[in-house]
Amino acid sequence: MTATPTPAAAPTPTPAPTSAAASAQAAAPARALPANVAALALGDDALVLSHRLGEWAGHAPVLEEEVALANIALDLLGQARVLLSLAGDEDELAYLREERAFRNLQLVEQPNGDFAHTIARQLYFSTYQTLLYGQLASGESELAPLAAKAVKEVTYHQDHAEQWTLRLGDGTAESHERMRRGLDALWRFTGEMFQPVDGIDVDFEALRESWTASVTAVIERATLSVPDGPQSGAWTAGAGRQGLHTEPFGRMLAEMQHLHRSHPGASW
Amino acid sequence: MSSSTDWPLWEVFVRSRRGLSHTHAGSLHAPDAEMALRNARDLYTRRSEGVSLWVVPSTAITASSPDEKDSFFEPAGDKPYRHPTFYEIPDGVKHL
């Protein structure tokens, strides 16, 4: 593939493929291009969250909500397919990588928990995605066309999460408590969203401010308070973007990949 | 799925294109009108069926009863003169 020079190209020098090294390194270095790093990070976010939301099928509290969550999951799967195809072969990337090769945020791999827990995850992540895609859509990177389409989808995801946060937080004592628990439990995974990503030319500190303002407004309208703990675990030596994942992710991957790995190349 | 029965039922009307009227598409459960609208979006417009949605509490609809079918609708059955095609156009009429 030819490296398309983007104006905002990161300082990482792209080695010109010399004939000697070209054949041996053809596959691997291509993935390390900033644009591919970005596509892989965002694509993995979408793929993993899509799978988590898919786990609600047959288990959602009501039929209408099951369809809503499945719709959101399918939007995300569509985004994942486009993004992973930018980074390589989509099936190979989705089904044949080991845990350490995934670049998704730890937030999106967290288990569903109860419905409020899922909504808390949706609120945190869809707000981030809406702000990020909004900026990417107005930029000139190779992700701009995808972002322009996806921003409409994720704006709806954010609205869905917001509506439910308001109703659960400002609902019964039980729903209020569950919503609070969900927001608290996932808070420590939110800091990672604002780590700069190679190939994404966005001011992540400004993104953090907009995100905090937006999420705070919703949480306070829901009669809850913003968790006051740290936004990352003190013990982590990096996080999802570096390929370090939490324990439940391995089990999720095993389920997601086992069919493809058991029957390579199967189709119907 | 027991809580589904606690939520009120809503009737959904979808307008498929500008210029057409809203048509009844089906019904759903939702805790309130705002959520009913969102559920309607997910259930009834996911294949580009519409450009506008109405939701109405099912309890707000007064329906004719099947018992009244005879008195309500049957009398119209034998009155063909209510259709324009019943009338023959006289030869002399040119601009009708």
From A50, A5, A49, select the one nearest A199 (Cα to Cα): A5
Q: What are phi and psi of B53, to 5 degrees?
A: -130, 140
Q: How far apart are CA A107 and CA A130, in angstroms?
A: 16
Whether residue B42 and residue A71 make contact (CB cut-off 8 A), yes or no, is: yes
Name which of B4, B38, B46 is nearest A160 (Cβ-Cβ): B38
Domain count, chain B: 1
Report yes or no on A13 lying in a domain.
no
Ranges of residues in chain B with a pLDDT under 50 are: 1-4
Question: In the predicted model, is pLDDT for residue A18 greater than 90?
Answer: no
pLDDT at A203: 93
Mean pLDDT to the nearest integer, A7-30: 43
Report yes or no on B93 lying in a domain.
no
Q: Which domain, by its residues, includes A126?
A: 33-232
The CA-to-CA distance between both ends of chain B, in Å, stands at 60
Report yes or no on B47 lying in a domain.
yes
Report yes or no on B84 lying in a domain.
no
Average pLDDT over all residues of chain A: 87
Pick from A32-36, A64-68, B80-84 the range whose average pLDDT is largest: A64-68
A235 — pLDDT class (breaks 50, 70, 90): low
Mutate to test the interface with B, among A65, A119, A156, A166 (most CBs of B within 10 A): A65
Higher pLDDT, B83 or A121: A121
Mean pLDDT to the nearest integer, A184-204: 92
Question: In the predicted model, is pLDDT for residue A19 greater than 90?
Answer: no
A29 — pLDDT class (breaks 50, 70, 90): very low
Q: Which domain, by its residues, includes B6?
A: 2-61
Mean pLDDT to the nearest integer, A9-24: 43
Sheet holding B52-57, edge to edge: B23-29, B9-15, B52-57
Question: In the predicted model, is pLDDT for residue A233 greater than 80?
Answer: no
Report yes or no on A28 lying in a domain.
no
Whether residue B31 and residue A63 make contact (CB cut-off 8 A), yes or no, is: no
CB A1, CB A189: distance < 8 Å: no
Amino acid letter at A145? Answer: P
Report yes or no on B77 lying in a domain.
no
CATH number of the domain to which B7 belongs:
3.10.20.520
